[in-house]
Structure 1
Amino acid sequence: MTSVASSTALVTTSPIWAALLLRLLGPSITSTALLLETPGAALIAALWLGQTPHAVAYPALAVILVGLALVVPADRRKPS
């Protein structure tokens, strides 16, 4: 298992953290934050372990980040 996969698995295997985040932040912010898990794991692997993702991973990371950049402001503008 690569370090990116292992750090991703470490973050997602704790239902206690997930329940706490859901209760504190709400479902919309929590689900959005969970989408940052993959880019975050890649960043941790690059900074701490000196491992970089394969070239094909960069477009996927870009799609995730652009999607979040489009959705988060739209969610804030939506009337409650």
Structure 2
Amino acid sequence: SVDAMKRVEEIKQKRQARFIMNRLKKSKELQKAEDIKEVKQNIHLLRAPHAGTPKQLEDKMVQKLQEDVPMEEDS
């Protein structure tokens, strides 16, 4: 019965850890969406006169943000 209690506690710890990781993952996704929205709204602040069309610059910034997030998840 003591072994069973230890096993139950071990399972509880794993579930808690998984729950926390899932919450953090959702937070990262929401933050990424907010970042993309902010870039789209304030693209005029980022655009240099020689950078080309605003749409091209916006696409580059969104692509850069999307590339940065997978690198952080691998860590």
Q: What is the TM-score of this pair, normalised by structure 1?
A: 0.36
Tell me which structure has the larger Cα radius of gyration: 2
The answer to which structure has the higher helix fraction is: 2
Q: Which has the higher contact order (CA 8 A, sep 6+)?
A: 1
